[in-house]
Amino acid sequence: MKYDVAIIGGGLGGLECGYTLSKCGLSVCVLEQGNALGGCLQTFRRRGTEYDTGFHYVGALDEGQSLWRLFDFFRLMDLPWHRLDQDGFDEVILNGERFEFVSGRKEFVEKLSEQFPGQKDNLKKYMEVLSDVGDNIFKSFDTADAVDFYQKPAFTQSAHEFLKETISDPKLRNVLAGTSLKMELHTNLPLYIYAQINDSFIQSAWRIEGGGQQIANRLADNIRALGGEVRTKSEVTELVEKEGKLSHAIVNGEEHIEADIFISNAHPVATLDLVKESQVLKKVYRRRISGLPNTFGMFTANIQLKEGIPYLNRNQFIYETNDIWDYASFDTRNRTDATLVSYQVPTNQSPYATNIDILTPMNWRDVEQWDGTKVMRRGDDYEEFKRRKAQQCIKFVGKYIQGLEEHVEKVYTSTPLSYKDYTSTHEGSAYGIKKDFSKLMFTMLTPRTPLPNLLLTGQNLNLHGVLGVSMTSFFTCAEILGMDKIKDLLKLR
């Protein structure tokens, strides 16, 4: 069968593209290699408890805010969203000292000013820049020329330099960047990415009761209701080029799927590897894409708890370091001094947490020796490596959550290798290709490729996270529908 559009990968970006294009009358087929949709939105169940693999919370979901506008279009707003505490949705614990992030831009400044009274004016300047980025996020749809967009001041400065110039207190600089384990802090991180992500959570912060898989399942149901097709266990093993463009995809080594346009939600390196023979994809382009550095991965300990640990309606970011910008480069095999603790919303309204996730950065080199092995068959050395790392994380976090070690019932673990095998993420990268403000046009990719009917989408292009990927899906669809149509769909004019 032939479709207007075939989409490779049933992660968030692929499903959002599938819904948008189906809504506009195109015939769409989404092809997911795994047993379940969603990529990092996937959940898994053990002993009756749901665990998230990569989804933990979202920002800017209150009515009228940026993610609300997108999720309202995708018909996701009636899912069981759960607002985090407005008087402390995030807590940064820095060398034992605690700092709360409160919802609302003005309130955020006032709260931190209580602990840093001499920095109030600087905090106002900081929030002005974040607010400017957050309030103007949809202005990227106003120009067809991406070069103009990427030359905005927030793209031409690093977040690191911005903080140094704006905030004179080194401890406050650490605190402000302390919730940024949801991105890779490195000294060349573009200010725009830092500002867009952090501002969205300051606007409002939300979990979802029952796990992020619901987002993927709802999008798939919506696509099918519009006449589109969404398939699992359908691995694209090759993209075949004929006469300068793609003619069909080979699925599971034998089935042919024809389409006028192909969209890949997979990592660009994995996507290009599917085009085994090409007259259009030159070696210099392949080398350029494969040579782009990737962000670090994550080690996750999903912990089932015995009753007794209170549920916290916030996230905790815990550090034992004098410079949190250092964690992106350390050898995570031997160090654990930067963690994110996320609590699953109890489904029985219990005051106690049923399970928590502890996440800490992990480099690909820590697990590379087991690359090529199969899931659940990696050997005793790998299992022992994960067990030791999990115990290291629990011991570290246990210094700040009283009684944690005694209340651990069961631990499930994942590494960057797990992400690579389940989601085809290159090197198990948590946030895709590393963006660099000094090399912006090389590290921020557009949806287009040298093959005229092959487009890209997902976190590797320009923005990551749920909001970033959702925005990017519209940039990809605009290559097919035109940006004017996208603006009409989102009621931006």
pLDDT of res. 33 = 93
pLDDT of res. 394 = 97
pLDDT of res. 149 = 58
pLDDT of res. 285 = 93
Q: Please give the mean pLDDT across all residues of the chain.
A: 92
| 256 residue type, one letter | H
pLDDT of res. 442 = 79
Instruction: Give the pTM.
Output: 0.94
User: Do 203 and 103 form a contact (C-beta atoms < 8 A)?
Assistant: yes
Q: In a 10 Å sphere around its CB, with 0-12 CB exposed, 13-18 middle and 19+ buried, how is residue 40 labelled?
A: buried
Q: Which residues share a beta bridge with 294?
A: 433
CATH homologous superfamily, domain 2-55+211-292+434-489 = FAD/NAD(P)-binding domain (3.50.50.60)
Q: What are the extents of the domains in the chain? A: 2-55+211-292+434-489, 297-362+368-414
pLDDT of res. 470 = 95
Q: Which residues of the chain have pLDDT under 70?
A: 143-151, 328-334, 493
DSSP state at residue 84: P
Distance CA 174, CA 127 (A): 16
Distance CA 349, CA 297 (A): 33
In b/e form, how buried is each residue of 463-477, taking b as 16+ CB within 10 angstroms? bbbbbbbbbbbbbbb
In b/e form, how buried is each residue of 226-236, taking b as 16+ CB within 10 angstroms? bebbbeeebbb
- Tokens 């911005």 belong to residue: 162
pLDDT of res. 318 = 96
102, 104, 105, 110: CA torsion to nearest 10: -50
pLDDT of res. 141 = 79
pLDDT of res. 206 = 97
CA 266 distance to own-chain centroid: 13
Distance CA 336, CA 318 (A): 10
